[in-house]
């Protein structure tokens, strides 16, 4: 007897068996089953019935196809597929530390916090969630710098990037040394300042920055404006034609470091226009050849990177006074800036 699985007249049981297991397994199973059925009907199996072929283990069922259950299992047991390949652990995410202070401005709440409830326009929660964690896959922490806390080499070393944000407490000599050692060993530092961070926040940053020929200026108290004079060939300004600021704290880059090692990437220009102008007392501090800039970067041989941006409004949740993450090319600028600093 020969079993033909293509025969449309085959009983439905045989068709199921053929379709489920293939011709060879069906022959093996039915060789014994037909003998039992014929005996029950008073007939003897035909002598021409082919003997069962040697048993073969069923092939391993494919996990991507439902229903390939071997005949050796009960027909209606749940299908158990092959365990998926063990995934290799993903690379650890770079960690970013925002160093903020405990100053409370006239608004009655601290600004630029990355872990507040996000309800205020000056919050940085969208920057953290949407750009840093969402777009760049970074892990973000926040340190509130008070008289009881300190920046040390041990505290900074786990981080790819340290952001000197809304801190008004003056950095101590030991903290400046810790930041410097961190940078010299390949660490990255981003600096920005604002009047709402307290009266000493510029000097706090400058205790670290002056050694590199850079100083951050106090808030210019100018209305909102758009920065369009940018170095589009640098990765930070790829796809960025303009970004918004309001009440900018620009930087002086001293002539002896201009170009190398400090690269100027964005200017609020012309300097005396509305939104860009600095106060007369700050202008008096400029030496011949110095530049007032909005965005700058510096790198060292160990892979360390420094950067400054002239306003925190660019990264605000918004909507509110000044600028925010959704205006102009602010989001792209933020993403590029933090990507460059952590790559």
Tell me the per-residue pLDDT of 275-303, one tens digit each, with 9 for 90 and over. 999 999 999 999 999 999 999 999 999 99
The reply to whether 90 falls in a domain is: no
- Cα separation, 92 vs 3, whole angstroms: 59
Indicate whether 313 and 218 sit together in one domain: yes
170-184: average pLDDT: 97
Indicate whether 8 and 56 sit together in one domain: yes
Position 271 confidence tier, pLDDT thresholds 50, 70, 90: very high
Indicate whether 135 and 255 sit together in one domain: yes
Number of H helices and E strands in the chain, helices first, is 8, 13
Residue 329 has pLDDT above 60, yes or no: yes
- Cα separation, 320 vs 314, whole angstroms: 12
The reply to whether 240 falls in a domain is: yes
Indicate whether 36 and 127 sit together in one domain: no
What pLDDT was estimated at residue 68?
34
Give the domain range for residue 42.
Answer: 1-79
Indicate whether 273 and 126 sit together in one domain: yes
Position 192 confidence tier, pLDDT thresholds 50, 70, 90: very high
Position 12 confidence tier, pLDDT thresholds 50, 70, 90: very low
Indicate whether 59 and 165 sit together in one domain: no
What pLDDT was estimated at residue 168?
85
Indicate whether 10 and 144 sit together in one domain: no
Is residue 211 classed exposed, middle or buried when 0-12, 13-18 and 19+ CB atoms within 10 A define those classes? Answer: exposed
- Give me the chain's average pLDDT, please: 82
23-33: average pLDDT: 46
What pLDDT was estimated at residue 4?
52
Position 10 confidence tier, pLDDT thresholds 50, 70, 90: very low
Position 166 confidence tier, pLDDT thresholds 50, 70, 90: confident
- Cα separation, 25 vs 46, whole angstroms: 20
Indicate whether 272 and 150 sit together in one domain: yes
What pLDDT was estimated at residue 200?
79
Place of tokens 């605000």: 316
Indicate whether 178 and 324 sit together in one domain: yes
The reply to whether 202 falls in a domain is: yes
Q: Pick 117 or 2 by higher pLDDT.
A: 117
Residue 41 has pLDDT above 80, yes or no: no
258-279: average pLDDT: 96
Indicate whether 2 and 145 sit together in one domain: no
- Cα separation, 181 vs 179, whole angstroms: 6
The reply to whether 13 falls in a domain is: yes
Least confident of 80-84, 237-241, 278-282: 80-84
pLDDT exceeding 70 applies to what percent of the chain?
A: 73
Other beta carbons within 10 angstroms of residue 106's beta carbon come to 5
Question: If DSSP codes are grouped into helix, strand and coil, which group holds residue 77?
Answer: coil
The reply to whether 102 falls in a domain is: no
- Cα separation, 52 vs 48, whole angstroms: 12
Indicate whether 261 and 335 sit together in one domain: yes
Position 90 confidence tier, pLDDT thresholds 50, 70, 90: low
What's the chain's length in residues? 343
Residue 220 has pLDDT above 50, yes or no: yes
Is residue 24 classed exposed, middle or buried when 0-12, 13-18 and 19+ CB atoms within 10 A define those classes? Answer: exposed
Indicate whether 254 and 306 sit together in one domain: yes
Whichever domain contains 197, its CATH number is 3.40.50.880
- Six token digits for residue 305: 């990177």
The reply to whether 7 falls in a domain is: yes
Q: What is the pTM of this model?
A: 0.74
The reply to whether 227 falls in a domain is: yes
| Domain count for the chain | 2
The reply to whether 58 falls in a domain is: yes
13-26: average pLDDT: 43
């Amino acid at each position: 007897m020969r079993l033909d699985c293509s025969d449309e007249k085959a009983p439905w049981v045989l068709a199921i068996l053929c379709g489920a297991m293939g011709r060879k397994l069906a022959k093996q199973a039915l060789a014994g089953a037909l003998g039992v059925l014929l005996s029950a009907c008073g007939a003897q199996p035909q002598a021409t019935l082919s003997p069962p072929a040697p048993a073969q283990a069923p092939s391993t069922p494919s996990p991507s196809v439902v229903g390939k259950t071997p005949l050796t299992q009960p027909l209606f047991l749940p299908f158990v597929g092959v365990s998926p390949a063990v995934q290799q652990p993903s690379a650890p995410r770079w960690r970013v530390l925002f160093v903020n202070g405990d100053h409370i401005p006239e608004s009655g709440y601290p600004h630029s916090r990355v872990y507040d409830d996000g309800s205020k326009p000056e919050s940085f929660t969208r920057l953290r969630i949407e750009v840093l964690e969402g777009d760049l896959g970074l892990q973000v922490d926040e340190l509130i710098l008070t008289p009881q806390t300190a920046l040390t080499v041990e505290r900074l070393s786990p981080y790819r990037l340290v952001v000197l944000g809304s801190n008004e407490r003056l950095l101590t000599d030991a903290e400046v040394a810790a930041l410097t050692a961190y940078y010299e060993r390949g660490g990255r530092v981003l600096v920005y300042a604002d009047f709402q961070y307290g009266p000493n926040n510029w000097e706090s940053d400058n205790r670290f920055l002056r050694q590199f020929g850079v100083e951050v200026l106090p808030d210019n108290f100018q209305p909102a404006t758009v920065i369009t004079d940018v170095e589009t060939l640098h990765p930070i300004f790829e796809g960025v034609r303009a970004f918004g600021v309001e009440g900018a704290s620009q930087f002086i880059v001293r002539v002896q470091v201009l170009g190398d090692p400090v690269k100027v990437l964005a200017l609020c220009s012309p300097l005396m226009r509305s939104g860009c102008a600095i106060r007369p007392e700050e202008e008096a501090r400029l030496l011949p050849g110095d530049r007032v800039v909005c965005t700058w970067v510096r790198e060292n041989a160990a892979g360390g990177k420094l950067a400054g941006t002239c306003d925190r409004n660019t990264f605000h949740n918004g909507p509110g006074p000044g600028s925010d993450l959704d205006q102009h090319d602010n989001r792209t600028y933020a993403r590029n800036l933090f990507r460059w600093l952590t790559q």
